[in-house]
Amino acid sequence: MNSNLTKSYQDFWVWFQKKEKTFFLALQEGKHIEQAFFDKLSPKLDIVKEGFYFLAGMADDKTAELVLTADGVIQNIVFVEELVRAAPAIAGWKFTALKAASYMDEVNIKMAGYTFNVNNINFYSADDTACPDEVNIIAVHDDLEVENTATISNGVGIFLDNYLGELDFATEIDNVTVISPSDAQQPLIPIGKLKDFLAWRKKEFTERYEGIRHNTEDDEYASFEAELADDKRLVAVMNTDLLAWDAKASHPWILLVEIPYDGERTNGMPDEETYELLNQIEESILTELKDSEGYLNVGRQTADGVREIYFACNDFRKPAKVLYQIQADYSTQLAINYDIYKDKYWQSFARFASN
């Protein structure tokens, strides 16, 4: 675990312990909760790391519960989990990482004049023969019409987040489309059966790909070059063996690293010093994210003042931690941005595979 983060976790909980009786009383009495608790908690969480959200209430008459959440942002999930694991035992408090799943009859969302519950939401799976491992859920809400599509879609998303739990909703479904009953193309399944369906798909997926690795040591690479507007160049180096691999879905998490630099005077390319620094950063990532452990370096692209580095990963937690640390290590030299998202068939790299 990153030592700076560890200290931040510890500092946060030391602070929380000093305030917990005031926070408990605010939740118990239900008065001035925002001023007495939330307005103080939020900036302290931001000091630990940006991207923490929370819910709080009384779990029972004698127990207050604080739920820390990443609000579905994949790269923040691991930090929420770590912060909760670092929590001390405090009498009268329960700390939970990520919003837990609820029983289906407990979820009844009311929003913008509409309700979202087991009585008006059904689903079916839209299987794609070209991408058979993708979990594409078609959710059907009784009240959806053209003019309220955005509202109903948002409400269904909130329902699923509460019903499935934050982690499963963020990781077990690839795509959700919300439609009206008149647009359904398959028989409707009660939404209460969605958990069982997802558990079956997860088991099937795990059995198919468990333990699959790819050694990139002897792989072949190809260079791609193009000319952009204003005579700027694009140069990419991609692992063509990986792009042709038939087990891409075993590494469904794409790590995209973006490093902007000043390329105005060099046709969008880095100068020699920046080039060396970019390569150093990439080597730092490769040292931590090894192919033997499930982190495959698919390639990189350099163009128009941005170096992009691509990894396909079999999990999302370690890449998030590694990039957070590297981002901090090089913060005085170059800004490093990163994103982690699911793309089981690596469609992000289709422009290279088609060449």
Residues 257-285: tens digit of each pLDDT = 999 999 989 989 999 999 999 999 999 99
355 pLDDT above the threshold of 60: no
When pLDDT is cut at 50, 70 and 90, the band that residue 354 belongs to is: low
Whether residue 216 is contained in a domain is answered as no
Contacts of 290 (CB under 8 A, 6+ apart): none
Q: What percentage of the chain reaches a pLDDT higher than 90? A: 92
For residues 193 and 130, state if they share a domain: yes
Alpha-carbon distance of 160 to 313, in angstroms, equals 26
Pairing type for strands 175-179 and 136-141 reads parallel
**Backbone φ and ψ of 340, nearest 5°:** -130, 125
CB count within 10 Å of CB 207 equals 8
C-alpha R_g of the chain: 23
Strand partners, 338: 257
Q: Where among 178, 209, 240 does a domain terminate?
A: 209
Measured CA to CA, the distance from residue 244 to residue 234 in angstroms comes to 22
For 47-76, write each residue's pLDDT tens digit.
999 999 999 999 999 999 999 999 999 999
* pLDDT of 349: 95
Residues 269 and 291 in one domain: yes
CATH number at residue 315: 3.30.70.100
- CA end-to-end distance (rounded Å), the chain: 41
pTM given for the model: 0.93
Element (H, E) at 20: helix 3-29
Q: pLDDT category, 253, cuts 50, 70, 90?
A: very high
Based on the fold, state whether residues 53 and 157 are members of the same structural domain. Answer: no
In a shared domain, residues 93 and 110: no
Q: What is the pLDDT of residues 76-106, one digit of tens each?
A: 999 999 999 999 999 999 999 999 999 888 8
229 and 305 housed in the same domain? yes
- Together in a domain, 300 and 200: no
Count structural domains, the chain: 3
**Block residue for tokens 């269904």:** 156
126 and 160 share a domain?
A: yes
pLDDT of residue 353: 76
